Amino acid sequence: MNLPIYLDNNATTPTDPRVVEAMIPYFTEFFGNAASRNHPFGWKAEEAVSYAREQIAALIGANEKEIIFTSGATESNNLALKGVYEMYAAKGNHFITVSTEHKAILDACKHLEKQGAEVTYLSVGEDGLLNVEQIAEAMKPDTVLVSVMYGNNELGVIQPIREIGALCKERGVLFHTDATQAVGKIPVDVMADHIDLMSFTAHKMYGPKGVGALYVRRKNPRVKVTAQLDGGGHERGMRSGTLNVTGIVGFGKACELCRLEMADEAKRLSALRDKLENALLTVEESYLNGNKANRLPHTTNISFKYVEGEGLMMGIKDIAVSSGSACTSASLEPSYVLKSLGLDDELAHSSLRFGLGRFTTEEEIDFTIKCVSDAVQRLRDMSPLWEMFKEGIDLKSIQWSEH
Amino acid sequence: MENRIYLDNAATSPLDPEVMEAMIPVMRDYYGNPSSTHAHGRKVKGMMEEARGSVAKLLGCSPAEIFFTSGGTEADNLALRSAVKDLGVKNIISSPIEHHAVLHTAEELAHKGMAELHLLPILPNGHVDMQALEQLLQTHKNCMVSLMHANNEVGNLLDMQRVAELCQKHQAYFHSDTVQTMGHYRFNLSELPVDFLAGAAHKFNGPKGVGFAFIRKGRKISPLITGGSQERELRGGTENIYGIIGLAKALEISYRDIDSKSAKISALKFLMLEKLKAEIPGVEFNGDAEGESLYTILSVSFPPNPIGPMLLFNLDLAGISASGGSACSSGSTVGSHVIQCLRPGTDRTTVRFSFGKFNTEEDILSTVAKLKEWYA
In angstroms, the separation between the Cα of residue B351 and the nearest Cα of chain A is 11
Residues of B in Cβ contact (< 8 Å) with A73: 237
Contact A102 B227 (CB under 8 A): yes
The residues that bridge with A8 in the sheet, in sequence order, are A355
Kindly report the three-state secondary structure assignment for every residue of B326-376.
Answer: CHHHCCCCCCCHHHHHHCCCCCCEEEEEECCCCCCHHHHHHHHHHHHHHHC
The residue of A2, A18, A36, A113 whose CB has the most chain B CBs within 10 angstroms, and thus the best one to mutate to test that interface, is: A36
Min Cα distance B260 → chain A (Å) is 23
Vertex A178 angle, CA A175 and A184, to 5°: 120
Q: Is the dihedral of CA B142, B100, B113, A74 positive or negative?
A: negative
> What single-letter amino acid sits at A146?
V
Nearest to B208 among A111, A245, A326 (CB): A245
Say if the Cβ atoms of B238 and A326 lie within 8 Å. yes
Contacts of A331 in chain B (CB under 8 A): 229
Cβ neighbours, 10 Å, residue B33: 30
Option in B208, B238, B330 nearest A36 (CB)? B330
Q: What is the pLDDT of residue A283?
A: 97
Distance CA A242, CA A246 (A): 11
Whether A210 sits inside 8 A of B27 (CB atoms) is no
Cβ of residue B105 closer than 8 Å to a chain A Cβ: yes
Angle of helix B160-169 relative to helix B130-139, nearest 10 degrees? 20
Catalytic residues of A: 327
What is the layout of strands, in order, in the sheet containing B91-94? B66-69, B211-215, B196-200, B173-177, B143-146, B91-94, B116-119
SS3 label, residue A201: strand
Alpha carbons B234 and B214: distance in angstroms, whole number: 12
- Cα B11 to its chain centre, rounded Å, is 9
Contact list in A for residue B13 (CB cut-off 8 A) is: 31
Indicate if the pLDDT at residue A168 is higher than 80: yes
Q: Is B193 on the interface with A (CB under 8 A)?
A: no
**Which three-class secondary structure state does DSSP give residue B119?**
strand
Contacts of B40 in chain A (CB under 8 A): 4, 6, 8, 320
ipTM for the predicted complex: 0.90
B78, closest residue in chain A (CA to CA): A229
Distance from the first to the final alpha carbon of chain B: 29
Q: Specify the amino acid at residue B17.
A: P
C-alpha–C-alpha distance, residues B237 and B214, integer Å: 18
SS3 A145: strand
CA atoms within 13 A on the CB side of B275: 19
CA A164, CA A137: separation in Å to the nearest integer?
Answer: 12
| Contact (Cβ atoms closer than 8 angstroms) between residue A269 and residue A298 | yes
In B, which residues are within 8 Å of A6 by CB distance? 31, 40
Distances (CA, A) of B90 to A231, A395, B219, B320, B329: 21, 60, 16, 45, 29
At A146, phi and psi to the nearest 5? -110, 130
d(CA B223, CA B18): 33
Asked if the Cβ–Cβ distance from B209 to A210 is below 8 Å, we say yes
Q: Which residues on A lie below 8 Å from B227 (Cβ)?
A: 74, 77-78, 102-108, 327
Residue A330 has what pLDDT?
A: 53
Q: Is the dihedral of CA A51, A53, A57, A62 positive or negative?
A: negative
Higher pLDDT, A333 or A249: A249
**Looking at chain B from residue 17 to 36, which residues have their Cβ under 8 Å from any Cβ of chain A?**
17, 20, 23-24, 27-28, 31-33, 35-36
Contact across the interface for B12 and A32, Cβ inside 8 Å: yes
Nearest Cβ partner of A203 from B104, B208, B238?
B238
**Helix H or strand E encompassing A41:** helix A40-60
pLDDT tens track for A273-331:
999 999 999 999 999 999 999 999 999 999 999 998 888 888 999 999 988 655 555 55
Query: What is the per-residue DSSP string for A264-284?
Result: HHHHHHHHHHHHHHHHHHTST
Subunit contact B227:A328, Cβ cutoff 8 A:
no
How much is the pLDDT for B328?
Answer: 58
> CA–CA separation, A265 vs B193, rounded Å?
55
B188 touches chain A (CB under 8 A): no
The alpha-helical segments, DSSP class H, found in B170-257 are 230-233, 241-256
Q: What are phi and psi of B66, to 5 degrees?
A: -105, 125
Strand-strand pairing, B91-94 and A118-122? unpaired
For residues B199 and B179, the answer to whether their CB atoms sit within 8 Å is yes
Contact between residue B300 and residue B286 where contact means Cβ atoms under 8 Å apart: yes
Nearest to A56 by CA among A176, A202, A157, A155: A202
Residue A20 and residue B250: Cα distance in Å, rounded? 20
Residues A184-200: tens digit of each pLDDT? 999 999 999 999 999 99
- Residue B50 DSSP one-character state: H
CB contact under 8 A, B238 and A230: no
Contact assignment for B326 to A15 by CB distance below 8 Å: no
Q: Is the pLDDT of residue A395 over 90?
A: no
Q: Do A210 and B240 touch (CB under 8 A)?
A: yes
Residue in B with minimal Cα distance to A72 = B237
**Interchain contact B357–A (C-beta under 8 A):** no
Strand pairing partners for A118? A94
Q: Is B362 exposed, middle or buried (0-12, 13-18, 19+ CB in 10 A)?
A: exposed
CA B157 to chain centre: 11
Closest Cα in chain A, distance from residue B70 (Å) = 6
Contact B52, B241 (CB under 8 A): no
B328 is catalytic: yes
CB contact under 8 A, A232 and B73: yes
Give, for A391, the enclosing helix (H) or strand (E): none
- Name which of B57, B56, B30 is nearest B242 in CA terms: B30
Q: Which residues 106-135 of chain B have a CB within 8 Å of chain A?
A: 107-108
Per residue of chain B (376 residues), give pLDDT as tens.
668 999 999 999 999 999 999 999 999 999 899 999 899 999 999 999 999 999 999 999 999 999 999 999 999 999 999 999 999 999 999 999 999 999 999 999 999 999 999 999 999 999 999 999 999 999 999 999 999 999 999 999 999 999 999 999 999 999 999 999 999 999 999 999 999 999 999 999 999 999 999 999 999 999 999 988 899 889 999 999 999 999 999 999 999 999 999 999 999 999 999 999 999 999 999 999 999 999 999 999 999 999 998 999 999 999 999 998 776 555 444 578 999 899 998 889 999 999 999 999 999 999 999 999 999 8
- The interface residues of chain B toward chain A in range 312-341, judged by CB-CB distance below 8 A, are 312-313, 315-316, 320-324, 326-331
Q: Which residues of A touch B24 (CB under 8 A)?
A: 20, 24
Distance CA B115, CA B110 (A): 5
User: What average pLDDT is seen over chain A?
Assistant: 94
The angle formed by the CA atoms of residues A56, A57 and A63, to the nearest 5 degrees, is 155
Our CA dihedral for B236, B241, B246, B249, rounded to 10 degrees, sits at: 90
Which residues, 6 or more positions from A102, have their beta carbon under 8 angstroms from its beta carbon? A77, A149, A153, A178, A180, A325, A327, B227
Quick one: pLDDT at residue A402? 59
Selected for mutation to probe chain B from A8, A230, A245, A323 (highest B CB count within 10 Å) is A230
Chain A residues closer than 8 Å to B108 by CB: 230
CB contact under 8 A, A41 and B1: yes
**pLDDT tens digits for range A55-69:** 999 999 999 999 999
Best B19, B38, B82, B310 residue to mutate vs chain A (most A CBs within 10 Å): B38
Q: Are B142 and B91 in contact (CB under 8 A)?
A: yes
Contact A35 B313 (CB under 8 A): no
pLDDT at A53: 98
* Alpha-helical segments (H) within B60-87: 72-86
Cβ of B41 under 8 Å from any chain A Cβ?
yes
- CA of A41, closest CA in chain B: separation in Å? 8
Cα dist from B355 to A113, B2, B70, B107, B125, whole Å: 48, 17, 24, 31, 21
DSSP state of A194: T
Which residues of chain B make contact with A17, given a CB cutoff of 8 A?
28
- Chain A to chain B, count of Cβ pairs less than 8 Å apart? 280
- Contact in structure between B215 and B22 (CB atoms under 8 Å): no
